[in-house]
Amino acid sequence: MTHSAAACYSIADLRTLARRRLPRAVFDFFDGGAEDERTLAGNGRAFERWQLAPRVLVDVADASSACSLLGAPAGMPAAIAPTGAAGFGWRGADLALARAAARMGLPYTLSSSATTAIETIAEQAPGRLWFQAYVLRNRDFFWQLVDRAREAGYEALVITVDLPVGGKRERDFRNHFSIPFRFTSRNVLDFASRPRWALDMLLRGLPAMENLRGLETAATSAGAIASSVGRSYDPAFDWARLAEVRERWPRKLIVKGVSRADDATRLAAMGVDAIVVSNHGGRQLDGAVPSLQALPEVLQGVAGRCPVLVDGGIRRGADIAKALALGAHGVLLGRATLFGAVAAGDAGAQRALDILHDELLRTMRLCGAPGVAQLSADLLRPAP
């Protein structure tokens, strides 16, 4: 049995370690998707639809995954995706992810619903920092978050546009899970089944969503929750509001949650700096098109006017290679690195990135691609 991050050899191993360590309700919050979880499963299956046809007799002795990502150097074409409430899995998980990303020269995206403050990440994990600002009904609060990210030196603002309302995550209902926690007979027994986790929460207190202090998001009951912070999202956020963000934010603007060519065309014309093809990891609209499947359409809509990244379902270095071969400029890593952080903190976050980096470099060498630029469409064949 695997008991430490060092003994994990795949993202699946880190996921198993996280499941063993966490109460079911907490693990399911990170692991689960919306409704029947078809989109969650579809994101992973989309990578299986492509097979690699490697080139041979290529000198790959000095192969490197180093690249330029959104105008700055990166150790590989990836960034850490925003993942909310990570501190409920491992105290300080946000910092663990940010530090691991900085060591590899990757951007780290802090979620609005993180359990570590914007300023704390900037002070304690300096590196390439992006801030994901959820669009909130409380517009003054939203702009305060944006201003804080600018003042703390974040290089990019990420606006998530696929979340006018929270998804229906039924695992959370069944587990009586909500944020803030509301204790019931079911979830208290669940929490008690993981005494080391529970003792930390009892002795040191439950983490808070530090960036949302002062924003009312309390749940009335487990059965009433679609997504814990989702009650605060602004379903009226539209193109005009996004244009205002573009006008007021002076640095790179990334729009996450796009799956259509027409939306991509309009965003590129607006002057966004990058687009992320994403369905929110299958956590919102079940039945949505898998991200990798949507990538070619979005690339067509962008027509080279800005970089396009893809998010969702990446569990192997070969998945990163396939996304790049299909035309993505990079990927966002969500659950893959989150499993490491909530399984084993700093060591787990670092292990997740090390695994993916090693697998990507190994795939590149085995495919005759000494650099990421050689991960091209001619390496792919549709699976029978």
**Residues annotated as part of the active site:** 280
Distances (CA, A) of 205 to 88, 176, 184, 201, 208: 10, 19, 18, 5, 9
Rounded to whole angstroms, the Cα distance separating 188 from 150 reads 40
d(CA 384, CA 188): 48
Contact 283, 40 (CB under 8 A): yes
The β-bridge partners of 158 are 132, 254
How far apart CA 303 and CA 10 sit, in angstroms, is: 35
Alpha carbons 358 and 23: distance in angstroms, whole number: 31
Phi-psi bin for 379: left (phi > 0), alpha (psi -120 to 50), beta?
Answer: alpha
**Two tokens at 356?**
């993916």
What tokens does 133 get? 């600002």
Token pair recorded at residue 277:
């093809």
Q: Which of 232, 223, 231, 233 is nearest to 257 (CA)?
A: 233
> CA 219, CA 179: separation in Å to the nearest integer?
7
